[in-house]
């Protein structure tokens, strides 16, 4: 009886020991019983994952899920996994370096092109006197010239018609440089607007009509009225003169009358028009000349704004309405007025002209020298492991 009980106890102990051994075997780390799999170096996505999972099991014991989560959160799991990504990092770095070198080369070429273009434009600006109109248009926009006319006081927003305001600005500019008026912003007009303008305006006077007071010339060849003060130019205005050369008289006259909002009698060929109305061909001011007693010929405003700068009148001298209103305020009765063509004014001892160097053929743009290939940026010692080829034995 006692022997049977002892035998059963031995069997129970042996079974318990066997079960304990099985449990310990299941919980033992894989590395204790198996050699490491060298193929894991070539297959980081499978073998390495299995190994790290086994490590997680060993570290966690029976609490596998909790242990894996703990290792993942602490970063220890990643530290234990074999790092085989250096091969891919090396290849990616080589590709990145080549892309960077190509980008730097293209940037260097573009910088060289822009520098050459900037140098060409700078040289053209420095030699603006000899630029052609095409070169001027390349260097300066239309907005630039309009702004310059504003800055110089030629462009005024006087009317609701922008095209008329622009035209008035151009003919004011042209009158200021003694240029025959054509209302076209051509090469000379554009050069006159440059900040360092090469246009030289000349008024040569042998003997002024007044030593220190105002006096006026009206140039029929250029359609320009010039107000002098002594021997100095005070201001120039664009005008319209007779439709034929004989209609506007030539000679030395003076103003003998002035009137605000003058009535127009019709000139013998039209119905009279009361003063102060927009349709009055005399505009809002009249300054009568001594020839004809002050009532036949005069300097006045207009009812046809686009006629200024042309040969359009029946003998009087028309001005832009705001211009004649301005001049009316400071020119007194008795002011001398000399009228004539260029040749007639020359007889009076007066020369009015401008000079500007003639344009030359545009020099070809210099061809930029080829830029040397950019030097690769020095390697960062801290990233040396990313750009140094792996040792041969590590690739085996």
Residues marked as catalytic: 300, 316
Distances (CA, A) of 39 to 53, 143, 178, 377, 389: 17, 73, 94, 37, 21
Lookup: tokens for 236: 């120039």
Distances (CA, A) of 217 to 171, 224, 229, 313, 327: 17, 8, 11, 18, 13
CA atoms of 181 and 170, how far apart (whole Å): 9
Q: Are 241 and 220 in contact (CB under 8 A)?
A: yes
**Buried/exposed 126-158: b ≥16 CB within 10 Å, e otherwise:** eebbbbeeebbeebbeeeebbebbeeeebbeee
For residue 181, the cross-strand partners are none
């Amino acid at each position: 009886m006692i022997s049977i009980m002892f035998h059963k106890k031995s069997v129970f102990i042996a079974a318990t020991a066997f079960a304990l051994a099985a449990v310990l075997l299941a919980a033992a780390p894989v590395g204790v019983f198996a050699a490491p799999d060298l193929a894991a170096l070539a297959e980081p996505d499978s073998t390495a994952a299995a190994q790290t999972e086994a490590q997680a099991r060993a570290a966690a014991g029976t609490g596998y899920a909790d242990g894996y989560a703990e290792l993942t959160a602490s970063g220890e799991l990643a530290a234990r996994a074999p790092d085989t990504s250096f091969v891919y990092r090396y290849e990616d770095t080589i590709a990145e370096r080549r892309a960077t070198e190509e980008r730097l080369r293209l940037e260097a070429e573009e910088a060289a092109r822009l520098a050459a273009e900037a140098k060409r434009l700078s040289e053209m600006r420095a030699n603006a006197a000899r630029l052609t109109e095409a070169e001027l248009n390349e260097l300066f926009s239309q907005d630039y010239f309009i702004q310059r006319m504003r800055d110089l006081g030629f462009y005024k927003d006087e009317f609701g018609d922008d095209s008329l305001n622009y035209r008035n600005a151009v003919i004011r500019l042209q009158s200021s440089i003694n240029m025959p008026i054509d209302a076209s912003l051509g090469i000379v007009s554009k050069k006159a607007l440059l900040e360092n303008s090469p246009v030289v305006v000349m008024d040569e006077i042998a003997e002024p009509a007044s030593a220190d007071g105002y006096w006026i010339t009206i140039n029929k060849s250029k359609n320009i009225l010039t107000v002098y003060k002594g021997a100095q130019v005070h201001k120039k205005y664009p005008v319209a003169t007779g439709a034929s050369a004989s209609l506007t008289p030539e000679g030395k006259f003076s103003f003998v009358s002035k009137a605000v909002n003058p009535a127009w009698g019709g000139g013998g060929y039209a119905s009279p028009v009361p003063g102060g109305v927009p349709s009055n061909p005399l505009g809002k001011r009249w300054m009568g000349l001594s020839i004809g007693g002050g009532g036949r010929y005069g300097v006045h405003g207009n009812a046809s704004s686009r006629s200024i700068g042309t040969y359009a009148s029946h003998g009087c001298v028309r001005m832009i309405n705001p211009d004649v209103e301005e001049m009316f305020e400071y020119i007194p009765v008795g002011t001398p007025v000399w009228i004539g063509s260029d040749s007639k004014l020359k007889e009076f001892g007066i020369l009015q002209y401008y000079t500007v160097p003639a344009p030359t053929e545009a020099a070809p743009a210099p061809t930029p020298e080829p830029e040397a290939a950019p030097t690769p940026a020095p390697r960062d010692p801290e990233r040396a492991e990313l750009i140094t080829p792996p040792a041969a034995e590590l690739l085996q």
